[in-house]
Amino acid sequence: MPGNAIELKELREQMKLMRPPDLKVLLEKEGLGGNYVLGMYGVEIDQFDSDLRSFKLWRETPADLRIYSETARCSKQEPLRVKRSKSSIYVRRLNPGGEITSMNLEDHLVWWAACVPEIAGTHPSTLRNKAIALGYSTGLVESQEILPGHN
């Protein structure tokens, strides 16, 4: 077992070295076996729709690293996060500046980092005044739609 501990420690250090230079850490928490890191990098504004952002989401666990391509819509009328899995597309309608729960925390961390990058990693429960200043109503209804994806 002592050999496994060294291997895991080395793996974690290698994952840290692999992080892209523009990675913004949105959430980092200690867990069993090591840290969980959620980060974002490669944010790009769509050339035809300035409210649309594409980016890479970095999900690092003590034993794994996953990178996902996602999009966010920053519009005042319909702020969205769009996630994909192998079989589905998740369209999550958000309420910037609204109530933050354990169920929507990640969505809001990701949305704020994509749409207002200078405050990436700020806990979204503290951003109500910022949302109002940016013109968001803070009264939108949050929902999720699951669409079939293609394999």
Q: Match 């409210």 to its residue by tokens.
A: 51
Least confident of 6-10, 61-65, 87-91, 119-123: 6-10
Domain count, the chain: 1
Determine the length of the chain: 151
Q: What is the pTM of this model?
A: 0.89
Q: Scanning the structure block, which residue is given the tokens 């928490």?
A: 29
Candidates 36, 122, 110, 30; CA nearest to 74 is: 110
What is the C-alpha to C-alpha distance for residues 64 and 73, in angstroms, rounded to an integer? 29
The residues that bridge with 145 in the sheet, in sequence order, are: 91
pLDDT value at residue 35: 85
Q: How many CB atoms lie within 10 A of CB 75?
A: 14
Q: What is the pLDDT of residue 62?
A: 81
pLDDT tens, position by position, 2-60: 555 556 667 667 777 889 999 999 999 987 777 899 999 999 999 999 999 999 999 99
DSSP H or E stretch at residue 38: strand 34-45
Q: Residue 32: give the domain boundaries.
A: 2-148
CB-based contact 93:141 (threshold 8 Å)? yes
**Does residue 80 carry a pLDDT above 70?**
yes
Residue 1's pLDDT band, with cuts at 50, 70 and 90, is very low
pLDDT digits (tens, 9 = 90+) for 106-142: 999 999 999 999 999 999 999 999 999 999 999 999 9
